[in-house]
Each structure stands twice: as structure tokens, then as C-alpha cells.
Structure 1
Amino acid sequence: MTLHTFLALVGTACGIYYGYLGVIVGGHLLDAKKRKSPSARILLTSVAWSVGSGDEFSEEGKHICRKGNWVLVVGIISWFAWGVLK
């Protein structure tokens, strides 16, 4: 496996995992209406949900947000490096 392929796989895996974390963190919203709403939970996967203060989440949700920030950064760096190497 080349470095180019490895970076693409890491970037893709980070994107998928970030989406998964976005769905999971929806269960940790403080607002009960949003927490129960499937549409509000799906929206968390379409935007940079982990960026920000995290005040709308419980403590466990804030922990997931911090993890999501790291996954997001690793994914961005991987895809950037992939583009540079290409």
C-alpha cells in the first residue's frame, strides 16, 4: 500500500467516524425535543457539529465533541496531504 492510498483510507475512515459521532452526540443534547427528533440528530452529521462551545450537550456530549474535533483535524490533514502528494 502506498502512502497516497493510506492517506485516502485514513481520510475516508475519519469522515465516516465523524458522521457516526455526529449521530451519537445527538442523544446527548440538553434540549429533549431535539434529542428525540431524528431530523435534528441527522443534521449533526451534515455540519461541523463538534466545533463550538458545546453548551447544548451534556458532559458526555462535550467529550464526544472533543473527540470529534480530533477526528475532524486528522481527516482534514489526511486529505490535504493526499492532495499535496497527488
Structure 2
Amino acid sequence: MTAHSILMIFGIMCGIAYAILGVVAAKHMNNPTYFEKYIGWSLWWFLERKKYNEQGKKYCNIGMILAVAGAASWTLYFTN
């Protein structure tokens, strides 16, 4: 297995985990509107920590790690 394949697989896994975590974190929003909970989910959900309860804030921390790891993986994949 080449380094390119490993970077690609890791990037895909981080992306899928990040998306699933974002959906799970949406259940931990403080007083969400319908739009925020079901329609307004964005790829930058982890930056809006103040909208979440304590469990949601933990998910935001993990989401930040996954976002950075996935972005780094794809950056390395496309620059090598």
C-alpha cells in the first residue's frame, strides 16, 4: 500500500467520522431552532461551541481534531 493510498483512506475516514459526529453533536445544542438543528448544519459546526451543552462541546473538540487531521491528510495527498 502506497503512502498516497494511506493518506486518501485516512482522509476519507476522518471526513466520514466528522460528518457523523456533526449529526450527533446537533442533538446537544442549547435551545436550537428547527433551522439550526436540521437545515442549518454546516461544515464549520465545531467552531460554534457556545451553541452546545457540555457534551456537545466535547464533540466540538473531537470535531476540530478530525477536521484538522482530514485537511492535513488531503493536503499531503494532493501536494505529493
Q: Establish whether residue 40 from structure 1 lines up as the match of residue 37 from structure 2.
A: yes
In structure 1, the residue matched to 2:69 is 74
Contact persistence 1:22–1:41 (CA under 8 A) = no
Report the number of matched residues. 80
Identity %: 31
The 1:3–1:42 alpha-carbon spacing in structure 2 relative to 1, beyond 3 Å, is farther
In structure 1, the residue matched to 2:27 is 27
Residue ranges of structure 1 left out of the alignment (5+ in a row): none
Q: Matched residue of 1:28: which SS?
A: coil
How many Å separate the matches in 2 of 1:81 and 1:48? Answer: 21
Residue ranges of structure 2 left out of the alignment (5+ in a row): none
State the TM-score, normalizing by the size of structure 1. Answer: 0.83
Q: Matched residue of 2:8: which SS?
A: helix
How many Å separate the matches in 1 of 2:11 and 2:65? Answer: 12
